[in-house]
Amino acid sequence: MRTRFESLGAYTPSTVRSTDELIAGLAMPRTLDLERITGIKNRHVHNSDPDEYESSFELALRAIEDCLEHSDYTADDIDVVISVSITRFRGPDLFCYAPAFALMLRNAIGATRALHFDVSNACAGMVTGVLVLDRMIKAGVVRNGLVVSGEQITPIADTAMREISQPYDPQFAALTVGDAAVAVVVDDRGDDNDEIHYVELTTAAYGAEFCLGMPSDKSKGIAMYTDNRQLASERRYAQALNRMSDFFAETGRTWESEKYDYWIHHQFSGPAVEHISRLAEQHFGTPMPQALNIMHEFGNTASTSHFLVLHEHLAQQRIPRGSKVLLIPEASGIVSGQLAATISRLEA
């Protein structure tokens, strides 16, 4: 059985916050050139007006609506709803652990007969959700499904602005994030023009403590603590590249045989993505495909980043029909892997 991406939707808030604004708002003044270090100039931030508040839930709903507008399926046709966001805000300061976000979203769109469950896997959430849905379809459990993430992640940046107190601070990476939502429908109608070729993920215990999200230990709010030196180490990047080599060997593939047209990395740092590309080129001994990025204007949008990149480049008609795209997740855990798909049907 062959699966495919049947439709894609996204939503980003209209409010834009610049890197210069963030640096100017730090409790401890800094001369750090954050834009040069990360390649991030702007990020979109949820509306915090009480009458138009954009929580994780509202963001996710808007992405689902956009996705279904581009789909041949209605909400009533959906067999399963999988919610994968890191953040699960349903209002100001209201973080929901139960009931499942997927249940609330399913009910809100009227897909009341659909199965529903949440999956948490940090910034690899969307790729993980697609992996689970792909396997469910191939096992004959469902025919189609919806994977969605709404990330109201910028509160960690607000916490960092209040609390950063030293030149090298573990909350530094929190300044890169932006809010966004994405949704995809996957079904069992894949063919040569539209197919998810494979989704494989690996979680390594090494590095599990390098990036942690939790309530702040200094003030009210949520925070993210990151060991950037360890996360950006060649040892960690080599771990992912070696696992990819093993996957190719196990499945009778080579990098050259896959003929990727584009690849999309997690949008955490432009210079880091360029460095990974150089390491991969050395590792596989061949040029890498064209990298698609949007971090300059959207920042790191957590679990939504890969599919937001895909959506924005489709909207700008920069991905020809029939292109083979490789998604490379990077997530706390530490999670690495690959998702390869040929896409022709998707529009944005």
Extract the tokens encoding 235: 């040892």
**DSSP-assigned beta bridge partners for residue 146:** 81, 185
pLDDT at 66: 98
Residue 29 has a pLDDT of 67
Rounded CA separation 331/87 (Å): 15
Give the contacts of 23 (CB within 8 A, at least 6 positions apart).
Answer: 30, 32, 34, 175
Which residue's structure tokens are 């979109």? 44
**pLDDT recorded at residue 259:** 96
> Distance of CA 155 to CAs 33, 92, 223, Å?
22, 10, 8
Contacting residues for 51 by C-beta, under 8 A, at least 6 apart: none
Tell me if 326 sits within 8 A of 338, measured CB to CB. yes
Name all domains of the chain by residue range, CATH numbers in brackets: 4-187 (3.40.47.10), 195-343 (3.40.47.10)
Residue 346 phi, psi (nearest 5): -60, 135
Specify the pLDDT at position 31: 67
Pairing label, strands 211-215, 222-226: antiparallel
Residue 97 has a pLDDT of 83
Distance of CA 40 to the CA centre of its chain: 16
Whether the bond between 167 and the residue before it is cis, its omega within 30 degrees of 0, is no
CA distance 33 to 39: 10
Q: Is there a contact between 281 and 287 (Cβ–Cβ < 8 Å)?
A: yes
List of the chain residues with pLDDT < 50: none
